[in-house]
Amino acid sequence: MKRSTPKATRHVNQNEGLIFEKSSPGKAAWKLPPLDVPEVDTAKLLGSAERKDLGHMPEVSEIEIIRHFTRLSTWNYAIDLGMYPLGSCTMKYNPRVNEAVARVEGIANGHPYQPEKISQGALQIIKTLSEILIEITGLDAITLQPAAGAHGELTGLLIIRAYHKSQGKPRKKILIPDSAHGTNPATAAMAGYSVENLKSNALGMVDVASLELQMNEDVAALMLTNPNTLGVFEQEIHKIADILHAKGGLLYMDGANMNALVGKVRPGDFGVDLMHLNLHKTFSTPHGGGGPGSGPVAVRKVLEPFLPKPVVVTKPDGTLGFDYQRPQSIGRVRAFYGNFGMFVRALAYIQANGPDGLRQTTEDAVLNANYIRKGLEGSYDLPYATPTMHEVVFSDKLQAKKGVRTMDIAKRLIDYGFHPYTTAFPLIVPGALMIEPTESESKEEMDLFVDAMKSIAAEVEEEPQTVLDAPYSTRVSRLDETAAARKPVLRWSPNV
């Protein structure tokens, strides 16, 4: 079964030349109802603030503007269109029930300046979600304030700093394995720590002997992703925790990969002192496009006093409220209380699944990653044979012999109707193909994906140029990715 037979010729849309030049004088896409209030002199009312010249606003009819935006929307790729196998990013389906709950009037229209008395429902949502996440992580307390995973890391490191300071021994170093997500060293540096690299062993796990040598009283914490970015569970996690704790260090876990663990094991039980979660990954809230995220940080009891304030508490009269009297708190890390809409969606997802459903989700995510591993073994090089958790990492070693690299394969995958996998991480695998299907995908969709990847491997053998020139099905082909990131053109101006 094939999704399509991708052609190696450029696809041209008949509307290509008409995309942006749609304006013609006098057209409008709006109509105001008849005036039902006394007319006022706007010039008098607005004075110099009145704009007479609206610049070069496009003048288009309703159908033209609708077609314009609808057409643009079809040029995008989304999880609602097909598999989105970005490794480590956990691009899973956002169930519609999450959206239905987030749109309930009382929830959608709540305002953070509303008095506590009439915000009891919202406070209860924060409290319930907090309690559930504490149970899932096996830790003791949590803040929901951070707006994303990297922001959670920063919050965690500020807590680590405050903790060591309170012990009278501020420390200077953070240990980070070479398999870490790029945000980890960046965050540690931003928090003012020096970063020391920790080598992985041949199995793709932390080298415990090196850790033992590198650990000393100057190390504030180890930042560890588990399962790590190879999709490998750190089997010596207890030993790692013991080595850190023996010298007064803390074990921070990057919990962005909790999709492999929820309902099966709890980081608090294997020695983790604090960690962040990505609600926008593991707990299915929308993800991508720069939209709001949520990166709660869960901590052990000894770290609770340092959590950002305010925290939700039950007051003596039994109602919920915010407690600002937290003298050891690191302070606020965000305006208001965090991205509340994401809390609602995550809670809806968790409660719709229930404990057994969440455990099943984890098992399905791991099963799916292993299904893809089996399907592609032989066609692509597998640098670490250690058991696969939620994602599998191949390398382009076999294809590189023909001059085709991971980025070329990813570009060709677009022609087969899939979003590319992750190409740049983990750094310890040169030419990585990092693939995370998540539990959202059916066997049928994964079969299509495996077929597409095998078909590309065959193309590399037979006619590598086809792959090197891909994609053919997109509006633009290969971009200058550095220029696109550094000098983005975000505004269109008419030629006048």
Ligand X SMILES: *Cc1c(COP(=O)(O)O)cnc(C)c1O
β-pairing verdict for 141-143 and 297-299: antiparallel
C-beta closer to ligand X: residue 88 or 361? 88
The correct pick among 227, 249, 295, 471 for binding ligand X (CB under 6 A) is 295
CA distances to 197, 253, 320 from 157, in Å: 17, 11, 29
Nearer to ligand X, 123 or 256 (CB): 256
* 256 sits near ligand X (criterion: CB under 6 A): yes
Residues 398-437 that bind ligand X (CB under 6 A): none
The pattern of x and - marking residues 169 through 198 that bind ligand X according to CB under 6 A reads ------------x-x---------------
Per-residue binding string, ligand X, 85-114, x by CB under 6 A, is ---xx-------------------------
| 15: region left, alpha or beta (phi > 0 left; psi from -120 to 50 alpha) | alpha
Half-sphere exposure of 290 (CA within 13 A, CB side): 0
Of 157, 159, 164, the closest CA to residue 193 belongs to: 157
- Provide the minimum distance between the beta carbon of 166 and ligand X in the complex, in angstroms, as a whole number: 27
Output the smallest distance, CB 146 to ligand X, in A. 9
Cα–chain center distance at 485? 18
Residue reference for tokens 């007064």: 248
Distance of CA 482 to the CA centre of its chain: 21
Smallest gap from Cβ 315 to ligand X, in A, equals: 33
Shortest Å distance, C-beta 257 to ligand X: 6
The pattern of x and - marking residues 267 through 286 that bind ligand X according to CB under 6 A reads -----------x--------
- What's the closest the beta carbon of residue 148 comes to ligand X, in angstroms? 4
- Kindly tell me which of 98 and 229 has the beta carbon lying closer to ligand X: 229
Which residue, judged by CB position, is nearest to ligand X in the bound state? Answer: 149
Minimum gap (Å) between residue 149 Cβ and ligand X: 2
User: CB-wise, 343 or 416, nearer to ligand X?
Assistant: 343
For 216, phi then psi, to 5°, come to -150, -175
Q: Which of 148, 261, 376, 389 binds ligand X (CB under 6 A)?
A: 148
Contact of 254 with 276, CB cutoff 8 Å: yes
Cβ 92 to ligand X, closest distance in Å?
13
The DSSP letter of residue 305 is: G
- Contacting range for ligand X; rule: CB under 6 A; set: 8-16, 136-144, 254-262, 382-390: 254-262
Q: Is 149 in the site for ligand X (CB under 6 A)?
A: yes
| Min dist. Cβ of residue 181 to ligand X (A) | 4
What backbone torsions phi and psi does residue 67 show, to the nearest 5 degrees? -65, -40
DSSP designation for 152: H
Of the pair 268, 426, the CB lying nearest ligand X is at 426
Selected range binding ligand X among 144-152, 381-389, 439-447, 459-467, rule: CB under 6 A: 144-152
Exposed/middle/buried for residue 363 (C-beta within 10 Å: 0-12, 13-18, 19+) = middle
Which is closer to ligand X, CB of 339 or CB of 368? 339
Token output for 481: 């990715």
Using the rule CB under 6 A, give the single segment among 1-9, 23-31, 249-257, 372-380 that binds ligand X.
Answer: 249-257
Regarding 156 and contact with ligand X (CB under 6 A), the answer is no
By DSSP bridging, strand 173-177 and strand 194-198 are parallel
Candidate residues 83, 126, 134, 150; the one interacting with ligand X per rule CB under 6 A: 150
CB closer to ligand X out of 173 and 181: 181
Write out the two tokens for 336.
């208001």
The H helix count followed by the E strand count for the chain is: 15, 11
**CB-side exposure of 115: number of CA atoms within 13 Å?**
3
Query: What is the Cα Rg of the chain in Å?
Result: 26
The secondary element (H helix, E strand) that includes residue 230 is: none
Task: Using the rule CB under 6 A, give the single segment among 62-70, 94-102, 146-154, 196-204 that binds ligand X.
Answer: 146-154
d(CA 130, CA 135): 9
| Residues in binding contact with ligand X, number by CB under 6 A | 14
Structure tokens at 33: 């109802």
Length of the chain (residues): 496
What binding mask, one character per residue, do residues 300-319 give for ligand X by CB under 6 A, x or -?
--------------------
User: Using CB under 6 A, which of the segments 159-167, 251-259, 308-316, 366-374 binds ligand X?
Assistant: 251-259
Report the distance separating Cα 422 and Cα 289, nearest Å: 16
- Three-class DSSP category at 200: strand
Cβ distance 437 to 76 under 8 Å? no
Query: First vs last Cα of the chain: how many Å apart?
Result: 51
* Smallest distance, ligand X to C-beta of residue 195, A: 15
Shortest Cβ distance from residue 280 to ligand X (Å)? 6
**Contact present, 379 and 394 (Cβ < 8 Å):** no
- Of the pair 182, 430, the CB lying nearest ligand X is at 182
Nearest distance in Å: CB 176, ligand X? 11
Residues that bind ligand X (CB under 6 A): 88-89, 148-150, 181, 183, 225, 254, 256-257, 278, 293, 295
